[in-house]
Amino acid sequence: MRVALVDLGMGNLHSVERALARAASDAGVACAVDRTADPDALLRADAIVVPGQGAFRDCAAALGRGLGDALRGAIAKGTPYLGICLGLQALFDASEEAPGAAGLGVFPGRVLRLSPAEGVKIPHMGWNEVTVVRPGAGPLAAFDGETPHLYFVHSYHAVPDDPSLVAAVTEHGPHRVTAAVQRGNVVAVQFHPEKSQAHGLRFLAAFLRG
């Protein structure tokens, strides 16, 4: 299979690329990972991964250069999509981080800043226990019946208009954070599977197996 690793001009693509290659080997899946910012390449890919460590406004600007239309088109035709961190947040309409900047609008909802609270550090950074709230949610089914510890780095979190999108959550102080959303061919996670060691690789392998 050909996996398009979308280059938005931000984030550590190399670590995601290495993790995908390792997960493909673990899963016994023949996989070629192509880093790309070419909209046509997204429409030809067998699967798409959108990673992201960076600012929502920069992401929105990159999506406005043809990538956004290609991603929406690929999702609409059923291409498996995995969003990581900013790749999850970009699926929604807008973010408090960048007023006036448009996300993909695949799902209605907004991305809100985690509000400060006593004893709670922002950004939320480190290992957290994740609870799957909707068993059987695509590749997140790899964690059904478990509460894996996964790695997070973020100051904003997605709040879907439709709560049924939420497939997994985590707690950060008083905050109940959307850890993953899933619907049909789309799965997106706030945690970083490429930094989450064995659990992260197991999740990526499940995504690649389909």
User: In the annotation, is 172 catalytic?
Assistant: no
Return the number of other C-beta atoms located less than 10 Å from residue 17's C-beta.
18
149 token code pair: 């510890």
Decide if 128 contacts 180 (C-beta within 8 A). Answer: no
Q: Is the dihedral of CA 150, 111, 177, 49 positive or negative?
A: negative
Cα–Cα–Cα angle for 37, 33, 86, nearest 5°? 55
Using CA atoms, how far apart are residues 154 and 144, in angstroms rounded to an integer? 24
Return the number of other C-beta atoms located less than 10 Å from residue 102's C-beta.
16
Task: Give the active site residue among 59, 85, 154, 157.
Answer: 85
Using CA atoms, how far apart are residues 104 and 113, in angstroms rounded to an integer? 19
Task: Give the active site residue among 124, 154, 192, 199.
Answer: 192
User: In the annotation, is 14 catalytic?
Assistant: no
* Strand runs labelled E in the chain: 2-6, 32-36, 47-50, 81-84, 94-95, 109-113, 124-132, 149-154, 156-160, 166-172, 175-183, 186-189
User: In the annotation, is 85 catalytic?
Assistant: yes
- Active-site residues, by number, are 85, 192, 194
